[in-house]
Structure formats: C-alpha cells, structure tokens
Amino acid sequence: MEVRRLSRSEAEAAFDELARLRIVVFRDFPYLYEGDLDYERDYLSTFLKSPGAVVIGAIDGSKLVGAATASPLADHFDEFGKPFIERGLDPASYFYFSESVLEKEYRGQGVGVRFFEEREKAAREQGFPSCVFSSVVRPEGHPMLPAGYQPLDAFWTKRGYSKIDGLVSEFSWKDIGEAEETAKPMQFWARTF
C-alpha cells in the first residue's frame, strides 16, 4: 500500500471516493454520522479552495482506501477558528488536521502514523509552528457506545499531541437515525514543533 500526498487534480478526481470514505468511516462511533453525498462534495470542494490544503491518500493498487486532510486553520470553517479567536489565539498560526479516514481492514498497519507524518510535513513546509485537530466528545454511557470501544487518545498522545484545556468548538451534523442536525462538542488537540 502506498501513502502519499495527492496532487490537486488527483484529489479533485477522487471527490466521490473521498466522500464515500468519510460517510463510511464517520458512521461508526463516536461520530455516528448519517452522511450525505451532496454535502460531502460541497464540503470537499470548499476545503480544496484553500491554497494550503493537502490530501494524503492511502492507495491499495488503484483503490483509494483511506485519506487524511489538512489546511491552514484560518481557511477552514469558521466554527473551528472561532474558539481560538475568543481565547486571543491567532488561527493563522495553526495548521488544522481535518479528517483521517481509513477502511477497517487497513487499520493497525501504520497508515494512521503516516497520515500524521505527511500532514506534519506539509505544516512545516508552509511554515506553521503548530498543528491542531478536533475530536468529537460523546457523553459517557452513550447509548450507541460499542462494547470494547477504545478512544484514540493514547495514539494521539504518543504522536506528541495534547488536549488544549477548555478549547472546544461545536459542529453540527445529523446523527444516524436523526431527522435534524444537532451541535456536537469538538475538543481541540495540539502539537507545537
């Protein structure tokens, strides 16, 4: 399997595959995302308007089996930059890791580490001193919590990331089986080089 940065034209050509991956992977806990192909296409086209946006692909043969994205935080959705501004932090100082999605059968083979390495490399190339990402926070005892679920906190900590105490955003999407979107808290994690 090859893990590498996709060119802009490769990322645009893979829109539907990227959208499918996001819908499939984010359907699982903790995101529980209902998913909508049109929304995903719109999201991805908005994301790629940033000149600093990168898409890292995991490719098995000719099939895209995973992807990780990142862009300058100042170019991302306002919901993600707002808590930084409210805290007196400049969003222009941060490179934001959007998603990391990988089909289940390819997990545990080092691809997640490669996704972080490639996005960190892109951040350094663009002169960013810090990388951030956010993860959804679900309440303890959530009714859809699967048995044996392990959050990724230990993986992120091993990569040098830590929670930014009190820095939480909200982002809305429709959970599985819900008729309307609801806001979910998103905890920020950061690493400074």
Q: Please state the domain extents for the chain.
A: 2-192
Mean pLDDT in residue range 78-94: 93
Retrieve residue 89's tokens: 């932090």
Q: Is 118 helix (H, G, I), strand (E, B) or coil?
A: helix
Assign residue 95 a region: left if phi > 0, alpha if psi is -120 to 50, beta otherwise?
beta
Tell me the residue type at 93: S
Segment 119-129 mean pLDDT: 98
In the CATH hierarchy, which fold is given to the domain comprising 2-192?
Aminopeptidase (3.40.630)
- Is the CA virtual torsion 50, 52, 56, 61 positive or negative? positive
pLDDT attached to residue 67: 97
Q: What is the mean pLDDT of residues 1-15?
A: 94
**Interval 160-177 mean pLDDT:** 94
Q: In what order do the strands lie in the sheet with 182-192?
A: 2-5, 54-60, 63-72, 94-102, 130-136, 182-192, 162-173
**Distance separating alpha carbons of residues 173 and 31, to the nearest angstrom:** 9
Q: Is the pLDDT of residue 77 over 90?
A: no
Average pLDDT over residues 92-104: 96
Provide the angle, in degrees to the nearest 10, between the axes of the packed helices 15-26 and 37-47. 120
Average confidence (pLDDT) over 60-76:
95
Instruction: Please report the pLDDT score of residue 20 as a whole number.
Output: 93
Identify the pLDDT of residue 17: 93
Torsion of CA 12, 13, 15, 18, to 10 degrees: -110
- Token pair, residue 91, equals 């969003």
Please work out, in degrees rounded to the nearest 5, the angle formed at the alpha carbon of residue 145 by the alpha carbons of 142 and 147. 140
Say how far apart CA 150 and CA 8 lie, in whole Å: 34
